[in-house]
């Protein structure tokens, strides 16, 4: 069995053309030892690859167009990765086949991360996303789909920066790895991790509040009403919610609003002011300020870049 990853010798940024024909391509770009991405654009050709490797790998697979079928030969299990989705897959021993449909427009970005790359960023806290993934990869897992999210505008924005680095750019390896880390941080921040030592009643109260807010974050109930709906008092609700989800109720509402705005920006059917109102903000300027403080880019720039 071979390894997905290469050992750095004379270069730390390596582009390999795996397939190229009349506007179609499959590129592999190695950024550094332990991390590479695949940039796939097909219109008539199809993928039909078998993988049999020993690597412990996490893959963030972004399906912009088309779809992928992944067959796990060990468990005899199929996974269908669909258009407009971002999927996180983990495997500690690869033995699977990946295929796409012929004559289907296919556009995919797949970031492959070795466990030893993740190891650099361990925090010793098992419920941190990177620690969680690293520990999961130490188990005997043939293939597991652990997270599916819709594509958002910020992810597309960062991916565009990653795949469009000029070949003659100075320090392109460092620049690309910087953007890769930016992408990883954004995706892993969407994990919903809960500490193991949380009491059952604390989790139940917080989960009830969270479920209510997920349905009403554009026009949420007051803290007093929310506490009543969760059969507790305001003080306890605020305390246990912050303990479980590491943020205030207001902070969580803001997080949900901005994540929804991020998805709406990707659709490009609304103006900034309309998106602000859609997610619960009365003033476009306030919305843009919060969005920039959270994501480091203004919503107008995402709208412009993804148009």
Task: Compute the average pLDDT of residues 52-58.
Answer: 85
Domain boundaries, the chain: 14-188, 200-305
Mean pLDDT along residues 234-251? 94
User: Residue 31's closest CA among 68, 4, 67, 61?
Assistant: 4
Q: What pTM, to 2 d.p., does this model score?
A: 0.83
More confident residue, 227 or 3: 227
Q: What is the pLDDT of residue 297?
A: 93
- Asked whether residue 1 carries a pLDDT value surpassing 70, the answer given is no
Percent of the chain with pLDDT over 70: 95
Which of the pair, 269 or 58, is modelled with greater confidence?
58
Residue 52 — very low, low, confident or very high, per pLDDT cuts 50/70/90? confident
Mean pLDDT of 235-252: 94
> For residue 81, what pLDDT band results from cuts at 50, 70 and 90?
very high
Give per-residue pLDDT as tens, 96-154. 899 998 888 999 999 999 999 999 999 988 888 999 999 999 999 999 999 999 999 99
For the sheet with 77-81, list strands across it: 48-53, 94-99, 68-72, 77-81
Q: What is the CATH number of domain 14-188?
A: 2.60.120.10
Mean pLDDT computed over every residue of the chain: 90
Sign of CA dihedral 80, 137, 149, 112: negative
Q: What is the pLDDT of residue 191?
A: 84
Q: Which pLDDT belongs to residue 46?
A: 82
Residues whose CB falls within 8 Å of the CB of residue 278, separated by 6 or more in sequence, listed in order: 218, 260, 261, 264, 270
Determine how many CB atoms are found less than 10 A away from the CB of residue 61. Answer: 22
Q: How many Å from the N-terminal Cα to the C-terminal Cα in the chain?
A: 43
* Band of pLDDT at residue 172, cut at 50, 70 and 90: confident
pLDDT of residue 306: 64
How many CA atoms does the CB half-sphere of 237 hold within 13 Å? Answer: 19
The residue among 276 and 270 whose pLDDT is bigger is 276
User: Which pLDDT band, with edges at 50, 70 and 90, does 298 fall under?
Assistant: very high
Fold of domain 200-305: Arc Repressor Mutant, subunit A (1.10.10)
């Amino acid at each position: 069995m071979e390894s997905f990853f290469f050992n750095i010798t004379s270069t730390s940024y390596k582009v390999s053309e795996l397939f190229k024909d009349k506007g179609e391509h499959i590129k592999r770009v190695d950024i550094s030892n332990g991390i590479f991405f695949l940039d796939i654009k097909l219109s008539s050709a199809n993928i039909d690859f078998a993988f049999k490797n020993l690597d412990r790998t996490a893959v963030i697979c972004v399906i912009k167009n088309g779809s992928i079928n992944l067959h796990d030969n060990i468990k005899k299990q199929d996974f269908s990765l669909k258009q407009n989705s971002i999927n996180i897959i983990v495997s500690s021993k690869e033995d699977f086949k990946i295929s796409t449909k012929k004559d289907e427009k296919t556009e995919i970005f797949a970031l492959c991360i070795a466990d030893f790359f993740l190891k650099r960023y361990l925090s010793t806290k098992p419920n941190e996303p990177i620690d969680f993934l690293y520990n999961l990869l130490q188990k005997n897992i043939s293939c597991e789909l652990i997270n599916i999210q819709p594509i958002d505008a910020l992810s597309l924005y960062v991916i565009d920066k990653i795949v469009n680095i000029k070949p003659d750019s100075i320090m392109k390896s460092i620049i690309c790895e910087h953007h890769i880390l930016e992408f990883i941080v954004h995706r892993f921040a969407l994990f919903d991790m809960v500490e193991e030592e949380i009491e059952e009643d604390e989790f139940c109260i917080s989960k009830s509040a969270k479920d209510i807010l997920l349905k009403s974050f554009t026009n949420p109930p007051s803290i007093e009403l929310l506490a009543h709906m969760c059969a507790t008092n305001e003080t306890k609700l605020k305390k246990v919610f912050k303990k479980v989800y590491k943020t205030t109720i207001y902070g969580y509402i803001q997080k949900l609003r901005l994540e929804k705005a991020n998805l709406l920006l990707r659709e490009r059917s609304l103006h900034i002011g309309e998106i602000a109102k859609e997610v619960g903000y009365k003033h476009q300027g306030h919305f843009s300020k919060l969005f920039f403080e959270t994501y480091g880019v203004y919503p107008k720039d995402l709208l412009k870049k993804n148009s």
